[in-house]
Each structure stands twice: as structure tokens, then as C-alpha cells.
Structure 1
């Protein structure tokens, strides 16, 4: 089954995010990619700042993208239980 947003076919999850939010830029520009260097990150953030400076209306869909990324991460992150404290012996109450 094919999915379409407007006249564009959705080929994968990245297409879905990009087309549904109407960013006109790849989500990786805003979210980064795993393993990017500090230099690559700085360049990506500079490009994003330039784009936002020229099109402030992108702030709303970018905020939605960030929220969706955080919610996805929170839902899939491995839960690590907090360590339990050992009972204290010999402490007056």
C-alpha cells in the first residue's frame, strides 16, 4: 500500500516526518545523526540557525519535530532502575 502527503509519496519514516511537518529540509539537519563529529555538529547547527533566521515560521514545525523525537526516545529508551540503598545499621532514630 502506498501513502501520499499532497502530491508526494511517502517512502519511509523520514519522508513521513519531513512531508507531514512541511519542513522542506531533512529531519537530520535538526536532529543530527548518530556518530557525527563535533565539527559536523557545529556546521549542522550553523546551517539550521541560518535557515531559521531566513524563515522564522519554521520554528513551530521544528518544535513539533523535537517533541516527537523526545517522546519517541522516551518510549524506547532502556529503563535503568535506580540503585537501592542498603539499610543503615546502628543509626539512632
Structure 2
């Protein structure tokens, strides 16, 4: 089975995500989990350390953006937005644990 978004043929899951959600990959070596958090629970210390590193990376990207690198500026905005999201699977797991019933 082939998957298309618009006229573009999707060849892998990452490309599907990029095309479907309308964003490009973060710079090489930067993991989305750094900004949005892992799917598994993390301790308060792990969360604090992860968010400290994420803030530093966002600050570096923003500084590069102010220096004229438009891609870095957009990456900083995207990474910052990811810090305010929760992976769907983790959010769904919390709902099930809390005993909530889907409507």
C-alpha cells in the first residue's frame, strides 16, 4: 500500500509526520522527546534536567535565529511549542489510570 499526502508519496513514518503536521525535522541530533518528554514516566529530577537542557537548546537556536539563521529561528519556535505538549500515548495512559471513561 502506498501513502500520499497531496501529490507527495510518503516513504517512512517521519516523512508522514512532517507532511501531515506541516513541519520539518529539527536539526540533526535533536530529539523531540527532549522537548515534549518521553512516553514513559520520568522522575521530577529527570524532568527538571530534561527541561533545563531543552531551554538551553531553545536559547541557542533563538540566538542563531537572531543572527540571521531563519531555519534555526523556526526550529526554536517549534521546539518551544513542543515543551507545552504531551505525547498522545502518555496522555491516554493517564486518562485510563484516572478511571475516566471516553465519551
More relative contact order, 1 or 2 (CA 8 Å, 6+ apart)? 2
TM-score of the aligned structures, taking structure 1 as reference length: 0.48
TM-score of the aligned structures, taking structure 2 as reference length: 0.45
